């Protein structure tokens, strides 16, 4: 089963922050690698990699994103990561 996330991008200068309130949001099917790209556009930075978990930081917050080859992130894990990142 693939995970579906409602996310949209708006262009501001050279960055592409996520506009989580946009009515024109796009549905994305997400793997761990794709989620890291989305979070980096929102300002998260890769801090370290421990095994298959990529640790991202933004100000005083820390996220752990599992990257297991090209497998999709499970629904519960995706919801938890998005809530921690403030995107849901």
Is residue 33 situated within a structural domain? yes
Is residue 49 situated within a structural domain? no
Is residue 59 situated within a structural domain? no
Q: Considering only CA atoms, which of 84, 85, 82, 86 is closest in space to residue 4? A: 82
Structural domain count, the chain: 1
CA-atom Rg of the chain in angstroms: 13
According to the model, what pLDDT value does residue 50 have? 94
Domain that includes residue 33, residue range: 4-43+70-85
One digit per residue, the tens of pLDDT, for the chain of length 88 reads 555 555 554 444 344 455 555 544 444 578 999 999 989 999 999 999 999 999 999 999 999 999 998 888 888 888 889 889 988 7
């Amino acid at each position: 089963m693939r995970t579906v996330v409602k996310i949209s991008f708006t262009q501001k200068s050279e960055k592409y922050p996520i506009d989580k309130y946009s009515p024109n949001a796009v549905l994305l099917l997400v793997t761990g690698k794709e989620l890291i790209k989305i979070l980096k556009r929102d300002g998260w930075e890769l801090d370290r990699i421990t095994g298959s978990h990529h640790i991202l930081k933004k100000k005083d917050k820390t996220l752990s994103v599992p990257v297991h080859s090209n497998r999709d992130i499970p629904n519960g894990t995706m919801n938890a990561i998005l809530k921690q990142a403030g995107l849901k």
